[in-house]
Amino acid sequence: MEIERFGRVRAVFFDLDDTLCGYWDAAKTGLRRTFEAMPLPGLGTEQALLEWAAAFREFCPTIKRSDWYALYLEKGRTTRAELMRRTLLRVGLDDPARAEELADRYGAERRAALALFPGTLDVLREVGARHPMGLITNGPADVQREEIRDLGLEPLFQWILIEGELGYGKPDPRVFRLAERLSGCAPEEILFVGNSYRHDVRPAQAAGWRTVWVRRPSDVPPSADPSAKPEGKPEGAPDADAEIGDLRELLTLLA
Ligand SMILES: [Mg+2]
């Protein structure tokens, strides 16, 4: 069964955040440590986190449709500070300087908390011994480069495609076409491994690639409603070629 599905795979591309490393976990830890160290006036940590999440849900959907997108692509700090500014405004504080301090603290705390999921390096080394590998990751150029360096991933990948450097990201079909050109592989010879149905699995399927969907119970962003569940598959949408709960299962699929 697996041989039929993955037997023709030559190159393997991975998503980064919450596929190889726990970005949401790091963001949650970073935010909590930030608001514990620098409390918002009159607000406990839990309340501060809820205000930040509400500001995020309001601000984030507008970024791609506004002048913020160009700034966001280049550097994480500008939008991070704007989000803190809006969080402070929600609690009646108009204080851009404090917003920048909070944003810097959060950036540093998140960076310190970011880690690969257990077994990730072993899996990448083993897959990499048999297949050329690439990364396709969304996010600001500086933040993504820093993550990749901090996690020691740079030498493992032949191709590293970052939204912030390209000016477009998943689910834009251009990034999948670029990966095909760079790897010299036909669509059906490429496997994409990612945690998001909407940003990873669906656009890779649409490009004609094989797909593995990594689904973990912890995959809920800090901006989500406290009762939110991990991203599901829209009704009637096609299944990924395989679903796994741990990256190590990939070795069995590709064996
Ligand atoms: Mg991801």
CA–CA dist 83, 52 (Å, integer): 7
Q: Ligand 1 centre from 136 Cα, in Å?
A: 9
pLDDT at 209 over 90: yes
Same structural domain, 92 and 184: no
Same structural domain, 145 and 236: yes
Same structural domain, 130 and 102: no
Q: Answer with the one of 69, 94, 113 that is the final residue of a domain.
A: 113
Range with lowest mean pLDDT among 21-30, 59-68, 206-215, 244-253: 59-68
Q: Ligand 1 centre from 95 Cα, in Å?
A: 32
Q: Ligand 1 centre from 194 Cα, in Å?
A: 6
Q: Helices 96-113 & 76-90, crossing angle to 10 degrees? A: 120
Same structural domain, 121 and 228: yes
20: number of Cβ within 10 Å = 27
**Contacts with 35 (C-beta within 8 Å, 6 or more apart), sequence order:** 45, 48, 49, 52
Q: Ligand 1 centre from 2 Cα, in Å?
A: 24
3-class state of residue 227 by DSSP: coil
The model's pTM: 0.95
pLDDT at 4 over 90: no
pLDDT at 5 over 90: no
Q: Answer with the one of 113, 143, 177 that is the final residue of a domain.
A: 113
Q: Ligand 1 centre from 96 Cα, in Å?
A: 30
**Averaged over 67-95, what is the pLDDT?**
95
Same structural domain, 211 and 162: yes
pLDDT at 65 over 90: no
**Averaged over 197-217, what is the pLDDT?**
97
pLDDT at 255 over 90: no
Same structural domain, 119 and 238: yes
3-class state of residue 242 by DSSP: strand
Task: Round the average pLDDT of the chain to a whole number and report it.
Answer: 95
pLDDT in tens, 118-134: 999 999 999 999 999 99
- For the chain, give the number of residues: 255
Give the containing element (helix H, strand E) for 210.
Answer: strand 210-214
The CATH number given to whatever domain includes residue 121 is: 3.40.50.1000
* pLDDT: which is higher, 1 or 138: 138
**Averaged over 167-194, what is the pLDDT?**
98
pLDDT in tens, 222-236: 999 878 899 999 999
Same structural domain, 79 and 182: no
3-class state of residue 243 by DSSP: strand
Q: Answer with the one of 65, 84, 113 that is the final residue of a domain.
A: 113
Q: Ligand 1 centre from 52 Cα, in Å?
A: 21
Same structural domain, 13 and 126: yes
Q: Ligand 1 centre from 18 Cα, in Å?
A: 5
* Parent domain of 63: 25-113
Q: Ligand 1 centre from 23 Cα, in Å?
A: 8
Same structural domain, 58 and 131: no
Q: Ligand 1 centre from 215 Cα, in Å?
A: 10
CA–CA dist 195, 114 (Å, integer): 17
pLDDT at 1 over 90: no
Same structural domain, 246 and 173: yes
Q: Ligand 1 centre from 205 Cα, in Å?
A: 16
Q: Ligand 1 centre from 97 Cα, in Å?
A: 31
pLDDT at 2 over 90: no
Q: Ligand 1 centre from 7 Cα, in Å?
A: 25
* Torsion sign across C-alpha atoms 119, 245, 15, 58: negative
Q: Ligand 1 centre from 107 Cα, in Å?
A: 18
What does the block give as tokens for 125?
A: 């080394």
Q: Ligand 1 centre from 92 Cα, in Å?
A: 34
**Averaged over 93-102, what is the pLDDT?**
98
How far CA 97 is from CA of 19, 83, 104, 166, 187, in Å, comes to 34, 13, 11, 31, 49
pLDDT at 248 over 90: yes
pLDDT score for 3: 52
Contact 162, 137 (CB under 8 A): yes
Cα-based torsion angle of the residue sequence 160, 165, 167, 173 in order, rounded to the nearest 10 degrees: 0
